[in-house]
Amino acid sequence: MRGARLARLLLRPFLGKADASEAVADLEELAGEKGPFEAHWYFWWAVMGYPARVVVDAVRKPLDLLGSRGWRGIGGGRRNSGREGTMEGMIRDIWYALRSLQRNPAFTAMTIGILALSTGTAVAIFSVVDQVLLEPLPFDEPDALRSVWLRHDDGSRTRMTPGNVRDLETLDNVFEGVAGFQGSTAALGTTGGTIAIRGGAVTPGYFATLGVEPLHGRTFDPEHGVVGAARVVILGQRLWEREFSADPRVVGRVVDLGGASAEVLGVVPESLYPTSVALSGELPFTDTNQDFFVPLTFSEEFWGSRRSHILGAVVRLRDGVTAAQADEALSALTMQLRETDPLNRSESLEASSFEEEVVGDVRFALLSLLGTMGLVLIIAAVNVGALFLLRGDDRTSEISIRRALGSSSAHVVRQFLVEAAIVASAASMGALVVGRVTIAVMQSLVPYQIPRLSAVHLGADSAIPLIAVGAALALLLGVVPAWRALRMQQVRGTRAVTASRAQRRLHGSIVGVQAALGVIVIVGAVLLVRSFNELRVVDLGFSERQTWVFEVRGAGDRMSDVVREVRALPGVASAAIAYDHPLARNWGDGFRIEGQARPEGTPGPSGSLRAVGTDYFTTVGIDVVEGRLPDELDLAAAPLMVINAALRDTHFPDGGAVGSTISVPTAARMFGEDASSFTVAAVVENVRFLGPENDSEPAFYLPLSHFQVSGSNLLVRSEDPGAEVVARVRNVIEAAAPGSAANSARRLEDIVFDMTARPRFNMMLLVTFAGMVLLLCGLGVYGLVGRSVVSRLREIGIRMALGADQTDVASSVMRTALKPIVLGCVAGLGAAWALSGLVQSLLFGVSPTDPLSYLLSALFMTAVAVVATVVPTVRALMVDPAHSLRGD
């Protein structure tokens, strides 16, 4: 049973180690008789039954003993004969502790709630950091893997060309394996219809380089990568489980892949396969592109090309070769290429740790969240500590009475410890629930933008530190207040305590420290909120409203019929086909501007190549800034192209872009030299293809009909915001192109929303933390002022009797609260200022020392403090002088 270890850990404090193992084994046996789903449910339901019943039983225990043989009979029991006396004392302590906690429900709920919330969130974030960042990648010796890319002399980074991947293979004294790959999509015929799947086209040595053994079948042989080889496919574990019911007999079966049959060669385990590669050389990992793998089948001629930047590369170092040695070998190769090959003259091969590529850009965000969470945890611990201290102080007279009745100091300490232990264990159980919920929420916020997040779970590994922290906290929360209470009792005897000046100062400084730490967190949250707001208002360069993106695979030539019919549908404002939507990471290519001489030995300019059809610009709302859009963007009509403003500004600073001729080698490769030149018809607005935080790169739009692509997207702008149009469009696709997969219809708005998922995730977590901090600080202030008012009732009474007016009293009470808060805020703002450099990389459009954010944070903190003082202040104002003077 999954989770048996966790269950044993949970039950151990209640049943002891041996009995917990026995009970869990019993439950596994009982659960084994249920169905697979029910078994899980039953198991956890039964586990949860133990703690409550054991506690109730412990409370009943003395009665049982009384009922059977009376108290004297304990020693004669068959088991535990020597321990029973202490057991009995322990049970009584637990019983008292439960009663005492029950008598003070506000204290109990507050301490358990604060601890459960803060430790639960902390454990969740720790689990994420542990399982996303710290666990080694699921490859054989992952440290030997490095990704390789090209660095232009202008500093920009780009994908590899097929020729450069071949170059890497010549370094076989350094690299044990070289893998090249690019993203791939296809339509897969299944029993339930055709579905669109995403994966990679990879070189045959890909899996050997990564060090992955297939679950079933085998991986590619070198002959699979030859043009004209029999079509084969390797399935990813998740697709295999989802669509083939995890049937191992799928190996050898022939499936329909993109309208042609392909033999299933094997199944590979779920992992972090690099498949897609961004134009800028990054390996954007997503869980959604791990469905299938097909061999890259380039012609020998194309494998020599150093012009098309389309591949990603991962290499495995030979045993004993260090990263530095590999870098040296790459530099040597770079020098050689710069001399022999004009296209590589301004480029260098560079390698970086593969792990860094996969998790590098989430590392900082996750670590800063962990750090912030640490601050929140400290604040929470300080708060709970203060609550326990105050409660201990309040119990001086109770302790005096106990001592007078013969309790030893040790017994008093034990009593306190038991109470703290009960609070800590209840909080730990709550923390497990909070932790699980937090992880689920995090997973739903960023479903696939953080690698491995979807597999993160709150396992026993995370629960052990939780239990350890709980135990340590219980010890601290129990011993320190008990010690203080005992000391105070010696000093004061049984007189009721009033908060001394020293006590108030202690409490004041606790509140001050909380405010200081809290302000740091709040500044971070406010900065992220403001930064996210800036991101949201960035003009992406197109209009995503009411636009749907249909991923169509396998429709082939029938796409033009489809788009014609869709345009005629009621409710459709406009429709177009395109290789992908405006925010997709398309491929990049070099180009040449006719009539512009390029400096000798440079490879010439390059840009993002976007393949689109007629009406694309009107459908996605990209404005024309110069020239006129062609009526037909089709090779058959005229060889026209459209460029963006960034390309114009870079390469036509003196104007004259419209009407000029640009040739594109990709087109030449596919259609021959005569089909490679295009006349610029229009210049359109820049689109931020890589999301709002990245500037637009130079881009050119070519007619999609130039390219033999396996699939394309249908973009449809609807006349109204509803989703009625989706079903109509699907019907058209199904009728015009039966069997083509239009299973994914997404709103362009959702795609834009997903683009900002990571910053939103950071922001929401930090805002949650800030909320917790404000709540905790509010509670702290409330406690401080409340106690201060209670202890000063007499003094306030005297002052009012002597004629002090209400304003004086109110301001004096407020001062108690606001002094530590203001001091804390000042210190906290200073610390935030000092730490501001750290958050720089998480911010967009806001300076990390933005004064407004700092001011707002201080205001939030002060406002919460003021609100928290309202009730105690009102109480102070309602003091009846006569009454308070009579008291005591």
Q: Are 780 and 389 in contact (CB under 8 A)?
A: no
Please report whether residue 57 would count as binding other proteins according to CB under 8 A.
Answer: yes
Please report whether residue 26 would count as binding other proteins according to CB under 8 A.
Answer: yes
Residue of 35, 49, 75, 222 interacting with other proteins (CB under 8 A): 49
How far apart (Å, rounded) are the C-alpha atoms in residues 413 and 172? 70
Q: From 60-68, 155-163, 757-765, 866-874, give the range in contact with other proteins by CB under 8 A.
A: 60-68
Give every CB contact of residue 425 below 8 A, 6+ residues apart in sequence: 13, 470, 474
How far apart (Å, rounded) are the C-alpha atoms in residues 397 and 404? 10
Amino acid 756 reads: T
Please report whether residue 89 would count as binding other proteins according to CB under 8 A.
Answer: no
Please report whether residue 72 would count as binding other proteins according to CB under 8 A.
Answer: no
Tokens of 814: 């407020």
User: Considering beta carbons, is residue 66 or 871 the nearer one to other proteins?
Assistant: 66
Please report whether residue 103 would count as binding other proteins according to CB under 8 A.
Answer: no
User: Considering beta carbons, is residue 53 or 545 the nearer one to other proteins?
Assistant: 53
Dihedral angle sign, alpha carbons of residues 68, 72, 74, 78: negative
Residue of 72, 78, 501, 628 interacting with other proteins (CB under 8 A): 78
Please report whether residue 22 would count as binding other proteins according to CB under 8 A.
Answer: yes
Tokens of 67: 């009922």
Helix (H, G, I), strand (E, B) or coil at 311: strand
User: Considering beta carbons, is residue 24 or 333 the nearer one to other proteins?
Assistant: 24
Burial class (CB in 10 A: 0-12, 13-18, 19+), 656: exposed
Between the two ends of the chain, the Cα-to-Cα distance in Å is 63
Please report whether residue 79 would count as binding other proteins according to CB under 8 A.
Answer: yes
Extract long-range pairs of 458-464: CB within 8 Å, 24+ residues apart.
458/123, 458/124, 458/127, 458/432, 459/6, 459/127, 460/5, 460/6, 460/9, 461/130, 462/123, 462/126, 462/127, 462/130, 462/435, 463/6, 463/9, 463/10, 463/123, 463/432, 464/9
User: Considering beta carbons, is residue 9 or 764 the nearer one to other proteins?
Assistant: 9
Q: How far is Cα of residue 659 from the mean position of the Cα atoms in its chain? A: 47
User: How near is the Cβ of 93 to other proteins at its closest, in Å?
Assistant: 19
Q: From 54-62, 340-348, 556-564, 791-799, give the range in contact with other proteins by CB under 8 A.
A: 54-62
Please report whether residue 20 would count as binding other proteins according to CB under 8 A.
Answer: no
Q: What is the signed CA dihedral for 519, 824, 476, 468, rounded to 10 degrees?
A: 20
Please report whether residue 339 would count as binding other proteins according to CB under 8 A.
Answer: no
Amino acid 180 reads: G
User: How near is the Cβ of 427 to other proteins at its closest, in Å?
Assistant: 22
Helix (H, G, I), strand (E, B) or coil at 387: helix
Tokens of 155: 């500093």
User: Considering beta carbons, is residue 47 or 516 the nearer one to other proteins?
Assistant: 47
Please report whether residue 50 would count as binding other proteins according to CB under 8 A.
Answer: yes
Please report whether residue 53 would count as binding other proteins according to CB under 8 A.
Answer: yes
SS3 per residue for 458-479: CCHHHHHHHHHHHHHHHHHHHH
Please report whether residue 30 would count as binding other proteins according to CB under 8 A.
Answer: yes
Helix (H, G, I), strand (E, B) or coil at 610: strand
Alpha helices in 395-459 (DSSP H): 396-404, 409-445
Q: What is the signed CA dihedral for 470, 475, 476, 480, rounded to 10 degrees?
A: 150
Please report whether residue 70 would count as binding other proteins according to CB under 8 A.
Answer: yes
Transcribe 47-116 into DSSP letters. HHHHHHHHHHHHHHHHHHHHHHT-GGGGGG-SSSTTTHHHHHHHHHHHHHHHHHHHH-HHHHHHHHHHHH
Please report whether residue 501 would count as binding other proteins according to CB under 8 A.
Answer: no
Amino acid 754 reads: D
User: How near is the Cβ of 264 to other proteins at its closest, in Å?
Assistant: 39
Residue of 4, 5, 40, 77 interacting with other proteins (CB under 8 A): 77
The candidate with the shortest Cα–Cα distance to 97, out of 481, 383, 478, is 478
Q: From 72-80, 433-441, 850-858, 868-876, give the range in contact with other proteins by CB under 8 A.
A: 72-80
Restricted to residues 699-728, the positions that interact with other proteins (CB under 8 A) are none
Alpha helices in 629-719 (DSSP H): 645-651, 665-671
User: How near is the Cβ of 129 to other proteins at its closest, in Å?
Assistant: 35
User: How near is the Cβ of 28 to other proteins at its closest, in Å?
Assistant: 10
Residue of 17, 29, 301, 673 interacting with other proteins (CB under 8 A): 29
Residue of 27, 150, 379, 559 interacting with other proteins (CB under 8 A): 27
User: Considering beta carbons, is residue 85 or 222 the nearer one to other proteins?
Assistant: 85
Please report whether residue 54 would count as binding other proteins according to CB under 8 A.
Answer: yes
Residue of 68, 509, 806, 811 interacting with other proteins (CB under 8 A): 68
The conformation of residue 150, written as its DSSP 8-state character, comes to E
User: Considering beta carbons, is residue 79 or 103 the nearer one to other proteins?
Assistant: 79
762-to-315, 442, 720 alpha-carbon distances in Å: 33, 10, 33
Residue of 65, 137, 179, 732 interacting with other proteins (CB under 8 A): 65
User: How near is the Cβ of 84 to other proteins at its closest, in Å?
Assistant: 9
Residue of 2, 25, 472, 487 interacting with other proteins (CB under 8 A): 25
Q: From 17-25, 223-231, 311-319, 854-862, give the range in contact with other proteins by CB under 8 A.
A: 17-25
Please report whether residue 193 would count as binding other proteins according to CB under 8 A.
Answer: no
User: How near is the Cβ of 69 to other proteins at its closest, in Å?
Assistant: 8
Cα angle value 692/697/702 (rounded, 5°): 115
The candidate with the shortest Cα–Cα distance to 623, out of 642, 608, 607, is 642
User: How near is the Cβ of 88 to other proteins at its closest, in Å?
Assistant: 12
User: Considering beta carbons, is residue 57 or 720 the nearer one to other proteins?
Assistant: 57
User: Considering beta carbons, is residue 47 or 842 the nearer one to other proteins?
Assistant: 47
User: Considering beta carbons, is residue 26 or 172 the nearer one to other proteins?
Assistant: 26
Q: Are 186 and 552 in contact (CB under 8 A)?
A: no
Number of chain residues interacting with other proteins (CB under 8 A)? 27
User: How near is the Cβ of 48 to other proteins at its closest, in Å?
Assistant: 8
User: Considering beta carbons, is residue 90 or 212 the nearer one to other proteins?
Assistant: 90
Please report whether residue 441 would count as binding other proteins according to CB under 8 A.
Answer: no
The conformation of residue 690, written as its DSSP 8-state character, comes to T
User: How near is the Cβ of 458 to other proteins at its closest, in Å?
Assistant: 23
Amino acid 610 reads: R
User: How near is the Cβ of 101 to other proteins at its closest, in Å?
Assistant: 22
Residue 760: how many CA atoms within 13 Å on its side-chain side? 16
Dihedral angle sign, alpha carbons of residues 429, 433, 434, 438: positive
User: How near is the Cβ of 42 to other proteins at its closest, in Å?
Assistant: 8
Residues lying near other proteins in the complex (CB under 8 A) are found at: 15, 22-23, 25-27, 29-30, 46, 49-50, 52-54, 56-57, 60-61, 64-65, 67-70, 77-79
